[in-house]
Amino acid sequence: MNNSKSPLLGTHSGVFHADDILAAAILRRIYPKCEIVRTRDQSVLDSCDIVFDVGGIYDAETRRYDHHMPERAGERPNGILYSSAGLVWKHHAHELCPSDIAKIVDEKLMQPIDATDNGQSLFEGGTPKFKGCHGYSFSRMLSALNPFWDEHQDFDAAFLEAVEIAGLILDREMVFAQGSLKAQKLTQTALNSRLERPLLVLNQFHPWQEAAVEDSDVIFCAFPSETGDWRLQCVPPELGSFEKRLALPEAWAGLRGGDLAALTNVSDAVFCHPGRFICGARSKEGVLELARQALL
């Protein structure tokens, strides 16, 4: 089978979830001319070139990607079970992107969807911190595209709409993954050449936290913003944390313009966030002076 052919893809009918939607989106990117049939008729599924999320078989050689069997369909080293999205990505990602990009997309997109579909919680505890607020995931968003009980029940049309949306997200995640790898290399170069161990200085903005948190010496990162000003941001102790290795001075919290300039004697100081995790100045020299004071 090659991309010029029009394979017949089979999946289950009725209510859809993020895993079968994303599996379909992946295969549509590889086989733009494919046809998708949604059914639970085994004789029809047997006639399909690729079957996912239905059929009770996981066999990559025959392109059968179900995970609902008692023995499941395997798990990753971190314990996250595979669903149809992860299985299709595992065996077909190489047709869309290099392996290093595929790995990032699996971590960022496929694994949360697979875990959710298999009933695996990504967080310990399970009790919402704020009563009534349970968060909103990509899986929930795609599930919300199903017709509700009091709507016209055209699941197949809704499925195709959801596949289009999932395909756009997949495209963007691959772009983000490629950019992330590039940013990690640029950040590492800046880390290796910095003059002051606690201060990382970037001459252009790009994502930096993933590489910076690996270096325990880095306290602040200075970088130009999209507005032309410069920012000084606290480095978190670990990726995804809202904590800081060192907060900006308490006396700066919430100050703006002249008030911050008068306190710091940095004439072009712009602001300090009340949360004390980021501040700014109009020039690189100004933000570096703020960094020196914050490190005292």
Residue 289 contacts by C-beta under 8 Å, 6 or more apart in sequence? 264, 266, 281
What is residue 128's predicted lDDT score, i.e. its pLDDT? 77
Domains held by the chain: number: 2
Task: Please tell me whether residues 170 and 213 are part of one structural domain.
Answer: no
Same domain, 268 and 162: no
| 68 Cβ neighbours under 8 A, 6+ residues apart | 53, 54, 56
Place of tokens 């299709």: 88
Cα dihedral 158/18/238/287 (nearest 10): -20
* Domain match, 170 and 202 both: no
Around 29, how many Cα atoms within 13 Å sit in the side-chain half-sphere? Answer: 24
Give the model's pLDDT for residue 79: 97
Could you tell me if 87 and 203 lie in one domain? no
Same domain, 74 and 215: no
Q: Which residues contact 275 (CB under 8 A, 6 or more apart)?
A: 253
Domain housing 275: 195-295
Q: Would you tell me how many other CB atoms lie within 10 Å of the CB of residue 189?
A: 12
Chunked into runs of 10 residues, the chain (296 residues) has average pLDDT values of: 74 97 98 97 98 98 97 97 98 98 97 96 80 88 95 95 98 97 96 94 94 95 94 95 95 97 98 97 98 96
Pairing of strands 220-224, 230-234: antiparallel
